[in-house]
Structure 1
Amino acid sequence: MHPEKNVSYDKLSRNIALTIIAVSLAPLILVGGLIFDQFRSIYHEKVYAHLAELVDKHKHEIDSFLKEKLSEIQYLNKVFTYEQLSDPVFIENTLKGLRQQYGRIFVDLGVIDENGKQVAYAGPLELLGADYSQAQWYKKSRNKTTYISDVFMGLRQSPHFIITINNMDKQQWTLRASIDFLAFSSIVENIRIGETGCAYILNREGVFQTTPLNNQKMALTPIKSTLIPASVRGITIREALAENDDTYITVSSPMKNGDWSLVYQQNYADAFSAMTRSEMVTLIIFLLGGVAIVATAIVISRKLVVRLKSMDVESELMSKQIVETGKLAAIGELAAGIAHEINNPVAIMIEEAGWVSDLLEDEKAQIKASTEIDRALHQVRTQGQRCKDITHKLLSFARQSDSRATEISLPELVEEVVDISMQQAKYAKVDFSLDLDTDLPSINASTTELQQVLLNLVNNSIQAMEPVGGVLSVSCGTEDSQILISVADTGPGIAAANLNRIFDPFFTTKPVGKGSGLGLSICFGIIHQMGGEIDVESTVGKGTRFNIRLPIPPHHTNQETPKEMLHD
């Protein structure tokens, strides 16, 4: 194979592989991209909707908690008078009743007069007589019937917030209660999702009213606002950038009439970790599929190119065989012409030898060497007749080209083939051994094709025994209701590895230039077309035997059946 052809085959292989890869991967990448985009969009909406619903739910829970505590203090204000609540024993018993009914959520109770002085107190601290007139929460509560303060430290130096009820009767006074901060903050801190999700409350000024997870009071810079489902009103979702450059999702909702905001925050990667894992698994599957497509494309392209190479090789061999066949045909025509030209002078030579012999009959007495001359003339006639027979058989073989079926006598056909090959066998030191059944029934077949098969087998056997020589045995007879023709030689034999391929087109064990590898393939085709079989038996170092089995014509079988029955 020329280097240029190898380069073209490699280029063709690459082009086929690239085409298969492009046609296979383009839809995969397009569909995969669309699925990825839709998946991300749907998953984002799902996560945001879930967070919005979660924050909205907890906002209502916290608002309900505050309203309940406010209602409970309002109930005390309506049921009891200023004089009753100002009684130290009564207010102490009232606080105990609240704690028995609602737990230790209420830290203390107090009554404040119109000047901001606490005139009655029940609780763990010594706050009786405390002056709240300058306290921010007290100032903000003065113009409101009810008020819930921000979380602050106050006189007790611990975080808490206060619920106040202002009475606007003839005598202004305020009923206040401190709420346990830990009980309140636990409601907020229960909002936890993932590893980084946490919730906290901010007031209008952005001051933390509860402490976030691990006290992470980060400064978040909003970078993007995200729309949320219309069913959740008042919720704002933003993506914000933290000081450490991590992206966080913040979900906020106003509460306590807008004074506070419930904020939930979570690291973006943590919130979408399940989506990221799904995308990674999907990406790995896509990559494995892509690798499989590429590998398959390469394998298929190489197989196609190998097959194409094989077809090109077969085509080249076929072209060479056609050329060789043309040469053989020309040589055959030339041989036929030469045989015809030789046949004429040989015939004249034989006639002249006979004429000279007749002349010598009359002059024997006068010629001293008449005996030698008779012997010489007899030899001339004998050898001339032999030349005539050889040229006649050569002409007969060269002119047979009709593939129509005719009645053939196999023993006669075998003898003709042996006669034609006799000279070649003589030079190869090969002796013929014939075992021909003269009673063999004639068969209906093409003389030319069957002669070609036998001549091919005989020539192969002679060539196999060159130059050492040997014995070529040809036999024909019947076996198992079939006609059996055998051609056996004592040559070197055929290796067992080659026996299964011996009838394949273009397969040959002969040296380059000695054979095309088509002879046995043609023989195989001809015999099978006749309805017969051909097989080979060979042993290395002992020889090879080709067996041809042809069906006996039906009329011969029918004729033999009564004889066999009579014989039995």
Structure 2
Amino acid sequence: MADAPRNPGQEAEHTLRRVTVAVAITPLLLVSAILFYAYDIIYRGTVLDHLRTQALRHAQIIDRFLEERAATLRLEAHSVPVSRLADTRYLEARLTALNDAFGPMYTDLGLIDPQGRQVAYAGPPQFHRTSYADAPWFALAKDQETFVSDVALGARRSPHFFVTVRLWDAEKRPWLLRAAIDFGKFNARVREIRLGRTGKAFIINRRGAFQTDAGDASSLPPNVLTALVLRDLAADQAIVLEGDNTQGIASLACVAPLKGGQWLLILQQERFDALRPLYLARIAAVSTVTLGIIAIITVIHLVAGRMERRLGAAYALQERLQQQIVEKSKLAAIGELAAGVAHEINNPVAIMMENAGWIADLLEGDDLHNPETLKEIRNSVQEITTQGRRCREITHNLLSFARKTNTAAQPVELAPLIQEIASLIRARVYQRGMTLTLDLHDTPPVRASATEIQQVLLNLLNNAMDAIDHDHGAVVVRLFSQEGHAVIEVEDNGQGIAPEHRQRIFEPFFTTKPVGKGTGLGLAICYGIVRNLDGDLEVESEPGRGTTFRIRIPKAPQA
């Protein structure tokens, strides 16, 4: 069999539960998504700004270190004449004094004449008589007051770079006082710059050559060096580039200019390390929202379950009350039928009594064995039997209708049901001088309660008879099929329904009958029964020309 229709209360409760969950969760998700997006942008911007600030600050520190070395060397160059600086013992003394004052930062000092020859030197002895005439840095340094070279191996075969200061002799020729900076200590200062657990610092020049130890620099994203060599940066500008390093780890590289833009300081950090608080906040936010959603759904289901149980009990009570109303309405209908049934039974009883009296008269006669007498007796007995069967049929129909209501839905044939109700009220119709006409066609069975359909038909027929206040009253009951529905029409030629009352006739306790003649529940009960069957109850009426009630019930689903 097809599935039974769901309880309207359950349908309403399930819909309410889904709507409540959606209404409760949707704003939470929207607000969380907006806050999550805004926090992501703000925090990411804060991290990148902090990274730029750190890069600029460390770049300024390194620039200041180089400027201090140059300033110290400039002070030495301008304090004494060139002839004094040409004394090797004087340079050795000054180298010792400088390292005592500023720490072991200088590895050597040298005085270079205008032709690039080193005429005085303090430092490792193997580099005493070096000529720098062909060195690329010499051509640049002799044209600048102060110069810092790039890091190179040179003749030392170890990384180093120079700081030079230009000075003039008595003949106005340019000389250079050169100091080699200890690369290890300079590199250590740069490597002390740390950010988080994975932050590293490097220095490169504009050709992409590393000016510090490149031990870990091979992990830089490949796109960083290419982008930096071609890009010009302002003195106070730092940029952040993102990409995967050679190990496939997403990284951030913040770049700030050094030495007037000739060098670039690179601060590299793994993106997860830099944005760790953001990722932790994401996890916390997602966990909080998820727990909130679970809590909301749990509470809604608990509350909805409680409401569902209460609504179920309310609907069960409503069904019991409706069943009681139907029973009481049926008892009232039986009372209205009693007079008609009594009149209907009175006629066959009178005939039976008349035939019984006739038989008694024949039995008292002397010609008992006369064939004509026996024939009369047989005819009278046959008539008594016939009228008795008629009485039994009337009482059977009344008792069948009066049985306790069974609201269980099952396939019901409507034509026999209509005929049974018609037989019950036919006597009442005739007593009022009306006619009752049945126009019944074959229709498919409907899934309904037979007793409820009887109740609906009886109420509509009683209302039809009550609406007729003139002679030649007529009531017509039709049954036919229409678009998968069985249609029952109850039509009368009574006084009709006023337009202002037509919209309210299905309201409980609304009646146009005199006080004491009606409760206003009959049509409300009929409407509720038909709607519970997924059917429709419609009315068409014109004052003075009658009323037609039309019931449409869907046919029963196939087994």
Q: For the superposition of Structure 1 and Structure 2, which TM-score range results when normalised by the shorter chain?
A: 0.5 to 0.7
Identical counterparts, % of pairs: 32
1:238 to 236, 241, 251: 241
- Per the alignment, residue 167 of structure 2 pairs with 167
Distance 1:175 1:141 in 2: 10
Of the structure 1 ranges 234-243 and 273-282, higher mean CA displacement relative to structure 2 is found in 234-243
How much has 1:142 moved relative to structure 2?
Answer: 2.3
Q: Which amino acid aligns with 1:204?
A: R
Mind listing any 5+ residue stretches in structure 1 that lack a counterpart? 226-230, 336-568
How much has 1:290 moved relative to structure 2?
Answer: 1.0
Q: 1:212 to 1:25 in 2, by over 3 A?
A: farther
2:255 to 208, 231, 252: 252
Does the CA-based 8 Å contact 1:85-1:120 persist in structure 2?
yes
Q: 1:8 to 1:245 in 2, by over 3 A?
A: farther
- 1:36 and 2:39 equivalent? no
What secondary structure is seen at the aligned counterpart in 2 of 1:289?
A: helix
Q: Which amino acid aligns with 2:265?
A: L
Does the CA-based 8 Å contact 2:235-2:260 persist in structure 1?
no
- Per the alignment, residue 312 of structure 2 pairs with 309
- Per the alignment, residue 294 of structure 2 pairs with 291
How much has 1:176 moved relative to structure 2?
Answer: 0.5
- Per the alignment, residue 202 of structure 1 pairs with 204
Does the CA-based 8 Å contact 2:117-2:133 persist in structure 1?
yes
Q: 1:10 to 1:232 in 2, by over 3 A?
A: farther
Does the CA-based 8 Å contact 1:189-1:212 persist in structure 2?
no
How much has 1:232 moved relative to structure 2?
Answer: 9.7
What secondary structure is seen at the aligned counterpart in 1 of 2:131?
A: coil
Q: 1:93 to 1:297 in 2, by over 3 A?
A: same
Q: Give the 5 Å matches for 1:480-499.
A: none
Q: Which amino acid aligns with 1:16?
A: L
Distance 2:93 2:132 in 1: 24
Does the CA-based 8 Å contact 2:141-2:147 persist in structure 1?
yes
- Per the alignment, residue 415 of structure 1 pairs with none
Q: Give deviations 1:198-228, integer Å, cap 9, x for gaps.
A: 1111111111111357344524326999xxx
Does the CA-based 8 Å contact 1:111-1:120 persist in structure 2?
yes
What secondary structure is seen at the aligned counterpart in 2 of 1:319?
A: helix
Does the CA-based 8 Å contact 1:162-1:179 persist in structure 2?
yes
What secondary structure is seen at the aligned counterpart in 2 of 1:264?
A: strand
Does the CA-based 8 Å contact 2:258-2:264 persist in structure 1?
yes
Normalised to the residue count of structure 1, the TM-score between the two structures is 0.53
Does the CA-based 8 Å contact 1:52-1:232 persist in structure 2?
no
Of the structure 1 ranges 203-212 and 294-303, higher mean CA displacement relative to structure 2 is found in 294-303
Q: Give the 5 Å matches for 1:287-366.
A: 287-324=290-327
- 1:141 and 2:141 equivalent? yes
How much has 1:329 moved relative to structure 2?
Answer: 8.1
How much has 1:104 moved relative to structure 2?
Answer: 0.4
Q: Which amino acid aligns with 2:184?
A: L
What secondary structure is seen at the aligned counterpart in 1 of 2:143?
A: coil
Q: 1:124 to 1:102 in 2, by over 3 A?
A: same
Mind listing any 5+ residue stretches in structure 2 that lack a counterpart? 229-233, 339-559
How much has 1:295 moved relative to structure 2?
Answer: 2.1
Does the CA-based 8 Å contact 2:196-2:274 persist in structure 1?
yes
Q: 1:224 to 1:312 in 2, by over 3 A?
A: farther
1:180 to 182, 207, 210: 182
Distance 2:335 2:119 in 1: 143
Q: 1:151 to 1:75 in 2, by over 3 A?
A: same
Q: Give the 5 Å matches for 1:447-526.
A: none
Q: Which amino acid aligns with 2:283?
A: M
How much has 1:129 moved relative to structure 2?
Answer: 0.7
Q: Which amino acid aligns with 1:306?
A: R
Distance 1:330 1:79 in 2: 133
- Per the alignment, residue 270 of structure 2 pairs with 267
Does the CA-based 8 Å contact 1:117-1:132 persist in structure 2?
yes
Structure ranking higher on relative contact order (CA contacts 8 Å, 6+ apart): 2
Q: Which amino acid aligns with 1:25?
A: I
How much has 1:333 moved relative to structure 2?
Answer: 12
What secondary structure is seen at the aligned counterpart in 2 of 1:115?
A: coil
Q: Give deviations 1:166-221, integer Å, cap 9, x for gaps.
A: 23442432211001112212222222111221111111111111135734452432
- Computed over aligned residues only, the root mean square deviation of the Cα atoms, in angstroms, reads 3.0
- Per the alignment, residue 102 of structure 1 pairs with 102
Q: 1:234 to 1:323 in 2, by over 3 A?
A: closer
How much has 1:60 moved relative to structure 2?
Answer: 1.1
What secondary structure is seen at the aligned counterpart in 2 of 1:132?
A: coil
Q: 1:219 to 1:135 in 2, by over 3 A?
A: farther
How much has 1:233 moved relative to structure 2?
Answer: 3.5
Q: Give deviations 1:419-474, integer Å, cap 9, x for gaps.
A: xxxxxxxxxxxxxxxxxxxxxxxxxxxxxxxxxxxxxxxxxxxxxxxxxxxxxxxx
Q: Which amino acid aligns with 1:116?
A: G
Does the CA-based 8 Å contact 2:55-2:267 persist in structure 1?
yes
How much has 1:245 moved relative to structure 2?
Answer: 4.1
1:191 to 189, 193, 196: 193
Does the CA-based 8 Å contact 1:250-1:263 persist in structure 2?
yes
